[in-house]
Amino acid sequence: MAKIETIRHSLAHILAYAVQELYPGVRFGVGPGIENGFYYDFDFIKIIKSKIKNQISKMEIKNQKLTPDDLFKIEKKMKELIKQNIKFEKKIISKNEAKKLFKNQPYKLELIEELAEGRSPTIYQSGEFIDLCRGPHIKSTLQLYSGQTKEIIDAFKLTKLAGAYWKGDEKNPMLTRIYGLAFETKNELEDYLKIQQEAEKRDHRVLGQKLELFMFDEEVGTGLPLWMPKGVILRKIIENYLYRELTIQGYQWLITPHIGKLDLWKTSGHWELYRENMYTPIKIEEEEYILKPMNCPFHVKIYQSKIRSYKELPLYLAELGTVYRYEKSGVLHGLTRVRGFTQDDAHIVCMPEQLSEELTKLLKSGLKILKTFGFKNYDIYLSTRPEKYAGALKEWKESIDSLKYVLGKLKLKYQIDSGGGVFYGPKIDIKIKDSLGRDWQCATIQVDFNLPERFKMTYINQKGEKQRPLMIHRALLGSIERFIGVLLEHYAGALPLWLATEQIWVIPVSEKHNKYANKINLQLTTCNLRTKIKNENETVSKKIREGEIQKIPYLLVVGDKEIKTKSVAVRSRKGDEGTIRVDKFIERIKKEIEKK
Amino acid sequence: MAKIETIRHSLAHILAYAVQELYPGVRFGVGPGIENGFYYDFDFIKIIKSKIKNQISKMEIKNQKLTPDDLFKIEKKMKELIKQNIKFEKKIISKNEAKKLFKNQPYKLELIEELAEGRSPTIYQSGEFIDLCRGPHIKSTLQLYSGQTKEIIDAFKLTKLAGAYWKGDEKNPMLTRIYGLAFETKNELEDYLKIQQEAEKRDHRVLGQKLELFMFDEEVGTGLPLWMPKGVILRKIIENYLYRELTIQGYQWLITPHIGKLDLWKTSGHWELYRENMYTPIKIEEEEYILKPMNCPFHVKIYQSKIRSYKELPLYLAELGTVYRYEKSGVLHGLTRVRGFTQDDAHIVCMPEQLSEELTKLLKSGLKILKTFGFKNYDIYLSTRPEKYAGALKEWKESIDSLKYVLGKLKLKYQIDSGGGVFYGPKIDIKIKDSLGRDWQCATIQVDFNLPERFKMTYINQKGEKQRPLMIHRALLGSIERFIGVLLEHYAGALPLWLATEQIWVIPVSEKHNKYANKINLQLTTCNLRTKIKNENETVSKKIREGEIQKIPYLLVVGDKEIKTKSVAVRSRKGDEGTIRVDKFIERIKKEIEKK
């Protein structure tokens, strides 16, 4: 059976065939199948107008820029070709034959030149279009594979144009890339498009503005979020939850400065191995300081502020620390990729023999916390020793064994990311899946035997001897900023009750109901509910509409009837829920909040 | 009547006389009376050994460094001189006479040279010691002034040695400064010494270390505090209190980054007028960013994120924002003078006609909050237009009038600090007095018509026209770091119950009382009390001693008797308070916390 990958790759050829028909003389780059579809790179910039009369190689330069409208034209041509049941015919030819065949295709010639000595080029012919390609491909556009027919004509769609450097190198010419989506069935394509649309609606940058949570301002700085009042409420809910939850688990909290002497990061090894993410130093009285890219050295210094005994270990040092890391302005994206963010950071200093137990606790606690926020699906990755590494092989092996042992014991499925560890040790990453099935890198648990060594950290063991501890770096949400971005997209802005910055609006039907509304409002506030009275001079329906836009979990309308029955007319996100007695309502939402 | 200032100055002469007696050939700098005492500067470094035999001006260099022991010797000599009833005799002489008189005193010669043309030098002779000095002085050491005798012999004391550059210029030679205290009576001196001793015991830098609240580390950076777990608890108590209190008052909270584009501070005027306190810029992708020295421009940008109506004003925008300001390393002092600190900052944007009302609210709220922390005494200063100022004279006058009006209405005594305002407007400063009567600059309320103008802030008035609002900058505690330093000194570390990081220790008499102690501990924790069980294998008395050192408000000892009577043996800071039933105890301390 032809896999969807094969179909996608074959559609890339059909795309190129269609472009060749519509834009004769176009030069071809490459066109692979990719996740969810395919693309093909074209060079429209210079089109050789073949020899005119007897003049030798006279060329006319034609700058041709495609518009989204052109995509419809190309897609239409592709469908015409598919209907012709274009076949994919494979041939192996000599390099010389290939060079002749692609003599007007400089990019293909480059690829032929690069073929290993003795390797013969493979080509695929589909109608008038021939591509240098190793395949495999479908049999033909109407009969995809032997003995079985499958409809592809309605299961693909061209989506967008982009610029792409030949071979991804910015020194090379910029080609035009045409992207297409392709699935096995029309339904799958439509589902995918629906999710895409949904994702656009959930864009946290749009929601953040609409709900007045945060803003960016180019005059303030690129990639530096400003938190507005409602955003601060949301941050505080999350941060207070973490503080309470982790304090119960024995974490101790630190606050450290945003700058520190550069030497600290020279000692830690970051200045050598992480410099591209660090900002340039600031000189203060002949000494160099740097915006902290991480909190670790400060936590080490606090650990070292006194002699530590084995009795104190494991020691859990946590900080909601705002760090600054350089990112190219081109890759910045709302809250999910910024230049300053707040890590829910912690360092666990433990004896080597405590490692497994600590890792177990961390994984359990991390998954529990993520679940509380509504993320129940995730992929786990175990990243092993990279090419450049510090420490002894024995330490690496033992740490990786511990990580594997713990994952096994907790019956957690995981994938190995071979060589994906940090230079100082292996790690476990948890990528959460949001409600649209998208992955978000989030929690990370990293074993580190490098920093304790470099900073010469010690503890006194039971025999009174100095020993080197191990350190675990861990962040559960990763970055508070990023996590809030993910939360907004996951819930499309309709955060669960416990996270809603405004939980309830009390809406009096008319002015004469204000007194009762005020009473209800006060009663709710006393119960620590985040509530607001909406007594502006506007219609009830307008206020309800506004409440829905603002994704308020509960709108309570109060009029004559409600006053008489000591009740409220409840409108939740599910719709009208009828009239409920005030005490019953409070009881109900208190339960909802506790449940989380 | 001779003022104490005259006595202090005369004692400086007696000090110089004594030194002359003990260290012949010493060179004299200057010796004024100062606050609480006096000093005299001496050059002991090079002592001229007068001509030996017939050799011309042969000099021997003798490096003489005084030790604190030498101070006793000098003080003793001073008392001998005082008993001889040394007189102070004034003479006016010619410059030439003076030059002859002081021919071996190069510093005095320099001063004579500097005397204005036509001015004749005044000298004072006291026994063998002659000084260039304008006076006035006491009559003699036993009969201070005509017709009245006063004992000074027991009312002064030499206190310390320090290095001081001649004329305060580091290019000049370093002289040895001897400091002395002097008061009108022995009692006054003793009171002052007692307070000094008390202040040393209350040194927040010492307490901070002993109570494990914060630390500094030269490798981390100069003037950058690291907050340790207990310190974070204290910060959170204070910050949560401010958050709750101010939220009720209508404040909205912001969180803004620690760096921003330099242009913002060019617009605000700080780059021009405040640059010496700002760090050097960081270059990011060809743009200059700076560590924020204040939060204002960010708050302005958030204000400007939408069109504001008069209905929204006054708008209270608050932030616990950590700012970084350059201070010379020489002036840094524990938490009270640092390079990075967290302002309890707020900006009130209001219509000009709302100014008085807002100032009234701010003053009331500020004094209330300071009182909650235990500061009931303060001095208020109204600072007026400085030489360099922005804005129109009319704006200055109106703002100062508003400030005066408000202070008058609230019947608050104040002093005028003429010309002490900020360049953008007048201000009110509140200096709190701590338990030793020392002043601490704390709250500041500043009117600003400059920033709204420079950033072109507007609101839409009732007629639909754009108007320029006024801005009030205000901080109540000033800097959280500094305020904690002051709190620690004010309370000598024994913070009131609501601020204590650990409120209660439960101490079981022996192992068999652990279960009951645990039960009590849990019961207290459930009531949101910060409590800890002390069940280490140590004696009860050792634990009590430790609790007293750690300034724990309540130590609860539990043994057989307490189990039987469902009670705890309470030891408060006042001492043993006997056995109290658990529920009664909880009730009592809950009340104590609420009262604050």
Q: What is the pLDDT of residue B45?
A: 61
Q: DSSP string spanning B244-308?
A: HHHHHTT-EE-B--SEEEHHHHHHHSHHHHSGGGSPPPEEETTEEEEE-S-SHHHHHHHHTTS--
Tokens of B518: 């645990």
Measure CB to CB from residue A261 to each of B221, B226, B236 and give the nearest one.
Answer: B221
Distance of residue B131 Cα from the nearest chain A Cα, in angstroms: 41
The number of residues in chain A equals 596
Q: Please state, in angstroms and as integers, the Cα–Cα distance from residue A179 to each residue in A77, A90, A157, following that order.
A: 15, 25, 9
Give me the amino acid identity at B329: S
End-to-end Cα distance, chain B:
48
| Annotated catalytic residue, options B325, B513, B551, B571 | B325
| pLDDT tier, A592 (very low <50, low <70, confident <90, very high otherwise) | very high
- Is A408 near chain B, with CB under 8 Å? no
Residues A521-551: tens digit of each pLDDT = 999 999 999 999 999 989 999 999 999 999 9
pLDDT at B191 over 60: yes
The answer to whether the CB atoms of A220 and B298 lie below 8 A apart is: yes
| Annotated catalytic residue, options B473, B474, B534, B571 | B473
Tokens of A157: 């769609």
B161, B176 Cβ separation under 8 angstroms: yes
| Whether residue B252 lies in the annotated active site | no
pLDDT, average across residues A238-242: 97
Nearest partner of B478 among B438, B440, B436, judged by Cα: B440
Q: No. of H helices and E strands in chain A?
A: 18, 28
pLDDT, average across residues B127-150: 85
Of all residues in chain A, the percent with pLDDT exceeding 70 is 96
B285: chain A residues, CB-CB within 8 Å: 222, 328-329
Measure CB to CB from residue A224 to each of B215, B235, B257 and give the nearest one.
Answer: B257
On average, the pLDDT of chain A sits at: 92
Provide the b/e sequence for B155-179 (b: ≥16 CB within 10 Å).
Answer: bbbbbebeebebeeeeeeeebbbbb
> Within the 311-340 window of chain B, which residues sit less than 8 Å (CB to CB) from chain A?
317, 322, 324, 326, 328-329, 339-340
Least confident of A104-113, A258-267, B114-123, B571-580: B114-123
What gap in Å lies between CA A219 and CA A216, rounded to an integer? 9
| Whether residue B270 lies in the annotated active site | no
pLDDT at B57 over 60: no
Helix (H) or strand (E) holding A405: helix A393-409
**CATH top-level class of A206-490:** alpha beta
Alpha helices by DSSP H, listed for B51-114, are 68-83, 95-101, 106-114
| pLDDT tier, A56 (very low <50, low <70, confident <90, very high otherwise) | very low
pLDDT at B50 over 70: no
A319, A346 Cβ separation under 8 angstroms: yes
B259, A224 Cβ separation under 8 angstroms: yes
| Whether residue B343 lies in the annotated active site | yes
For tokens 């002993």, name the residue. B210
| Whether residue A296 lies in the annotated active site | yes
On average, the pLDDT of chain B sits at: 92
Higher pLDDT, A582 or B24: A582
3-state secondary structure of A333: strand
Give me the amino acid identity at B256: T
CB atoms within 10 A of CB A356: 15
Residues A137-166: tens digit of each pLDDT = 999 998 887 666 677 889 999 999 998 999
Residue A6's φ and ψ, nearest 5 degrees, are: -65, -45
- Is A297 near chain B, with CB under 8 Å? yes
For residue A231, give the chain B residue with the closest CA. Answer: B254
Measure CB to CB from residue A259 to each of B221, B233, B264 and give the nearest one.
Answer: B221
Higher pLDDT, B52 or A103: A103
- Is A244 near chain B, with CB under 8 Å? no
Q: What is the pLDDT of residue B149?
A: 65
What gap in Å lies between CA B487 and CA B499, rounded to an integer? 10
Residues B218-277: tens digit of each pLDDT = 999 999 999 999 999 999 999 999 999 999 999 999 999 999 999 999 999 889 888 999
Cβ neighbors of A495 (< 8 A, separation 6 or more) are: A234, A487, A488, A501, A551
A317, A302 Cβ separation under 8 angstroms: yes
Nearest partner of A185 among A154, A140, A159, A158, judged by Cα: A154
The answer to whether the CB atoms of B302 and A228 lie below 8 A apart is: yes
| Whether residue B513 lies in the annotated active site | no
pLDDT, average across residues A194-211: 91
Of all residues in chain B, the percent with pLDDT exceeding 70 is 96
| Annotated catalytic residue, options A41, A70, A344, A345 | A345
Strand ranges, E, within A256-333 = 259-261, 282-284, 287-291, 315-324
The number of residues in chain B equals 596
Q: Please state, in angstroms and as integers, the Cα–Cα distance from residue A188 to each residue in A154, B244, B309, following that order.
A: 10, 52, 50
pLDDT, average across residues B6-13: 95
| Annotated catalytic residue, options A204, A473, A534, A571 | A473
For tokens 């707040």, name the residue. A342
What gap in Å lies between CA A393 and CA A404, rounded to an integer? 16
What gap in Å lies between CA B91 and CA B144, rounded to an integer? 19
The answer to whether the CB atoms of B260 and A224 lie below 8 A apart is: yes
| Whether residue B473 lies in the annotated active site | yes
Give me the amino acid identity at A13: H
Measure CB to CB from residue B215 to each of A236, A253, A305 and give the nearest one.
Answer: A305
- Is B220 near chain A, with CB under 8 Å? yes
- Where are chain A's structural domains? 4-196, 206-490, 504-595
Of all residues in chain A, the percent with pLDDT exceeding 90 is 82
Q: Does domain A4-196 have CATH number 1.20.1070.10?
A: no
| pLDDT tier, A272 (very low <50, low <70, confident <90, very high otherwise) | confident
Residues A387-397: tens digit of each pLDDT = 888 888 999 99
pLDDT, average across residues B296-302: 98
- Is A227 near chain B, with CB under 8 Å? yes
A516, A563 Cβ separation under 8 angstroms: yes
A428, A380 Cβ separation under 8 angstroms: yes
pLDDT at B85 over 50: yes
Nearest partner of B350 among B448, B428, B422, B270, judged by Cα: B448
> For residue A446, what are the β-bridge partners?
A427, A473
What gap in Å lies between CA B76 and CA B73, rounded to an integer? 5
Helix (H) or strand (E) holding A431: strand A427-433
Nearest partner of B153 among B89, B86, B87, B80, judged by Cα: B80
B231: chain A residues, CB-CB within 8 Å: 255
The answer to whether the CB atoms of A231 and B255 lie below 8 A apart is: yes
The answer to whether the CB atoms of B228 and A305 lie below 8 A apart is: yes
Would you identify the CATH topology of the domain A504-595? Rossmann fold (3.40.50)
Least confident of A195-199, A362-366, B103-107, B538-542: A195-199
Q: Could you tell me if the ipTM is greater than 0.85?
A: no
- Is A219 near chain B, with CB under 8 Å? yes
| pLDDT tier, A437 (very low <50, low <70, confident <90, very high otherwise) | confident
